Chain A
Amino acid sequence: MSIARVLAVARRIAQGFRRDERTLGLVFVVPIVVTALLGWVLRDQMDATVRVAVAGAIADQAAQSRLETIAAESGIDLEVRSLGLNASIEDVRAAVRAGRADVGILIPIQYGGPPAVQVVTEGADPAAESGMMGALQMLLLRAFEPSGSGLLNGPPTFRHETVYLSPDADTLDVLAPVFLGYFGYFFVFLLTGISFLRERVGGTLDRLLATPVTRVEIVLGYSLGFGLFATLQVIVLTLFVLARIDVPAIGPIPAFTIGLDVQSVGNPVLAFFVALVLSLGAVNLGVFLSTFARTELQIIQFIPLVIVPQGLLGGIFWPVDRLPDILQVVARALPMTYAVDGLREVMLKGAGLGSAVVQGDLAVLAGIAVLFVALAAGTIKREVA
């Protein structure tokens, strides 16, 4: 054991770092930037107006204004619209399904007995909705207070139903479709970035350019080649997310389950297609960014810049329209935002290819993929096209 040799190794590492500003930046600047971004997202969430559609006993003018007053006292921004005294639970469901309201409340007009409150929510975001439910129950309880000028007498009973998923869906049911797109994107980006960097550094790209191949041909070939792997990856991941295979106990090995058994309301093939178009964008992003790296380590260093912001801002954990204004603009420029939206539309809400939302998401994702084909081809230096 020689201290001098240990020190020689340590010194060599410090000397290498000194000439690699980018790694120094990664070590000191990026953690701060990412933490700041996370802090910004968490602290400056906008209090979105909760849009409530009311029907039945709660739908008259007096009840509405009382509800709004109590909400304002509690600091909740409530926008109440009436579906009418005679609206049915079907009308309430339709309002929520069409996105005209975040919450629908029906209190059937009845005589005697405690009011039976029926609450309808979308069901696409259990975490946010359970918070909203809590606030609503509190509001309604106050509105029903027998001592005050309550709307009705007696403690109300609540029944919660959701338009899309079952009310007891867990967070995994909502996140799983999104992870389909996210992990596919992540690995495809890393794979192509490193692979194309090897072409640039290893001299094969230069050698390719001494053949009649065009730059766009190279980039499209990459898209197709890695697209094949992205396809297989997304297929396997989709199957794992949706499947449930129960393996019985064999000898000392206890019974276990393979797959997450997540329910997809919509067509899994369409969900797969959304994730695939997202992945094709990742291929070309990898080719594009490989210009700005000299080593494989530097490709890895793009992760905090490419992958982390998309995870924070893409609508995976927090809805895009609750983000601070500036971050909303950023989020609208990220492919992940559209993929998350599309995947949720399909898998949670059962949207088909005919849905305008899904079409819009696919169009934006395809546009981004095409844009990066052009950008990637542009990064290949050549004297002739």
Chain B
Amino acid sequence: MSASAAAIEAEGLHKTFGSIHAVDGIDLALQPNRVYGLLGPNGSGKTTLIRLIAGLARATAGEARILGTRMPSRPMLRRIGYMPQAEALYPELSVRENVAFFARLEGAVSNDAIDRVLELVELGDRRGTPAMHLSGGMRRRLSLACTLVHEPPILFLDEPTVGVDPALRVQFWAHFRRLAAAGTTILVASHVMDEADRCDELLFVRSGKVIARGTPTELRQGAGTTDLEAAFLHYAGLDAEGRPLVASEP
């Protein structure tokens, strides 16, 4: 494997489900110390792209590499944190037991690390509560804790702040920035445009293709607008009357 500065690379990634091109020829080179935003409407291929890169699904064509290793690779999974869109938690287990379970699967993780990550997501005083008794926002935070507990250098976060209240969302992002500053490569999928501005670099995705990429400022300037939503519509070839971003693909 060639040594490469990019932490996450993709070359000509394709994934088809029958006649549907979920991911249709995507190239990426994502650097450490940065937060990347994957923006697009539901069904645009964000989740499939993340699953291909993380090695959870096999590409129809093309290849993805993480830290120079071609995916899928099981040893590389230890260095990845993946937060799926739907919380994957054990409802009968307590908050702490859920985190401890995933920590053990990732390899030996100290009790300190588990307690630290619980404080980070503000579930320290809920550690004994069964997950089934948590509110939607708390489950989201617990899911994030399970993803972060082994301190992976590569993070894939699929809509991490859905159902999280604005105050905590700010704290989430402050932590993502700290992690990036410490060398983590973060790829966040979202369809919330106000989150996009917190990313270092954005990838606009539509119908399985990257239709534009750049910093939020570059993308706004390129579209001649002050607002990212309008910029997306511009690059998607839709006018200001175009379908709302959250609408499903036809």
A residues contacting B by CB (< 8 A) are 202-204, 206-214, 383-385
Q: Are B57 and A383 in contact (CB under 8 A)?
A: yes
- A383-B55, A384-B73 known; A213+B105 contact, CB < 8 A: yes
C-alpha gap A203/B82 in the complex (Å): 13
Could you jot down 30 A-B contacts, CB within 8 Å? A202-B88, A203-B84, A203-B87, A204-B89, A204-B90, A206-B88, A207-B82, A207-B84, A207-B88, A207-B102, A207-B146, A208-B88, A209-B56, A210-B54, A210-B80, A210-B82, A211-B77, A212-B74, A212-B75, A212-B78, A212-B105, A212-B107, A213-B105, A214-B74, A383-B55, A383-B56, A383-B57, A384-B55, A384-B72, A384-B73
Number of interface residues of B (CB under 8 A): 24
C-alpha gap A203/B131 in the complex (Å): 15
Shortest C-beta distance, A254 to chain B (Å), equals 41
Q: What chain B residues lie within 8 Å of A212 (beta carbons)? A: 74-75, 77-78, 105-107
Shortest C-beta distance, B134 to chain A (Å), equals 15
Q: What chain A residues lie within 8 Å of B54 (beta carbons)? A: 210
C-alpha gap A207/B74 in the complex (Å): 14
Q: Does B168 contact A (CB under 8 A)?
A: no
B residues contacting A by CB (< 8 A) are 54-58, 72-75, 77-78, 80, 82, 84, 86-90, 102, 105-107, 146
A sample of 6 more A-B contacts (CB under 8 A), given A211-B77, A383-B57, A385-B74, is A206-B84, A207-B84, A211-B102, A213-B105, A384-B73, A384-B74
Q: What chain A residues lie within 8 Å of B105 (beta carbons)? A: 208, 211-213
Q: What chain B residues lie within 8 Å of A207 (beta carbons)? A: 82, 84, 88, 102, 146
Q: Are A210 and B74 in contact (CB under 8 A)?
A: no
- A202-B88, A203-B88, A384-B74 known; A210+B107 contact, CB < 8 A: no
Q: Are A383 and B72 in contact (CB under 8 A)?
A: yes
C-alpha gap A383/B77 in the complex (Å): 12
Shortest C-beta distance, B214 to chain A (Å), equals 29
C-alpha gap A203/B107 in the complex (Å): 21
Q: Are B74 and A206 in contact (CB under 8 A)?
A: no
Total contacts A to B, CB within 8 angstroms? 50
Q: What chain A residues lie within 8 Å of B86 (beta carbons)? A: 203
C-alpha gap A85/B90 in the complex (Å): 74
C-alpha gap A207/B86 in the complex (Å): 10
Q: What chain B residues lie within 8 Å of A209 (beta carbons)? A: 56
Shortest C-beta distance, A202 to chain B (Å), equals 7
Shortest C-beta distance, A213 to chain B (Å), equals 5
C-alpha gap A209/B72 in the complex (Å): 11
Shortest C-beta distance, B40 to chain A (Å), equals 22
C-alpha gap A207/B146 in the complex (Å): 10
Q: Are B88 and A204 in contact (CB under 8 A)?
A: yes
Q: What chain B residues lie within 8 Å of A213 (beta carbons)? A: 105
Q: What chain B residues lie within 8 Å of A206 (beta carbons)? A: 56, 84, 88
Q: Are A210 and B77 in contact (CB under 8 A)?
A: yes
Shortest C-beta distance, A200 to chain B (Å), equals 11
The CB with the most chain B CB atoms within 10 A, among A204, A208, A214, is that of A204
Q: What chain B residues lie within 8 Å of A202 (beta carbons)? A: 88
CB-nearest residue of chain A to B103? A211
Q: What chain B residues lie within 8 Å of A383 (beta carbons)? A: 55-58, 72
C-alpha gap A203/B83 in the complex (Å): 11
C-alpha gap A209/B56 in the complex (Å): 7
C-alpha gap A204/B58 in the complex (Å): 19
C-alpha gap A383/B58 in the complex (Å): 6
Q: What chain A residues lie within 8 Å of B87 (beta carbons)? A: 203
Shortest C-beta distance, B160 to chain A (Å), equals 14
CB-nearest residue of chain A to B77? A212
Shortest C-beta distance, A80 to chain B (Å), equals 64
C-alpha gap A9/B73 in the complex (Å): 50
Q: Are B56 and A210 in contact (CB under 8 A)?
A: yes
C-alpha gap A208/B106 in the complex (Å): 10
Q: What chain A residues lie within 8 Å of B82 (beta carbons)? A: 207, 210
CB-nearest residue of chain A to B102? A211
C-alpha gap A74/B236 in the complex (Å): 92
Q: What chain A residues lie within 8 Å of B106 (beta carbons)? A: 211-212
C-alpha gap A208/B82 in the complex (Å): 10
C-alpha gap A208/B88 in the complex (Å): 9
Q: What chain A residues lie within 8 Å of B102 (beta carbons)? A: 207, 211
C-alpha gap A213/B105 in the complex (Å): 6
C-alpha gap A385/B87 in the complex (Å): 24
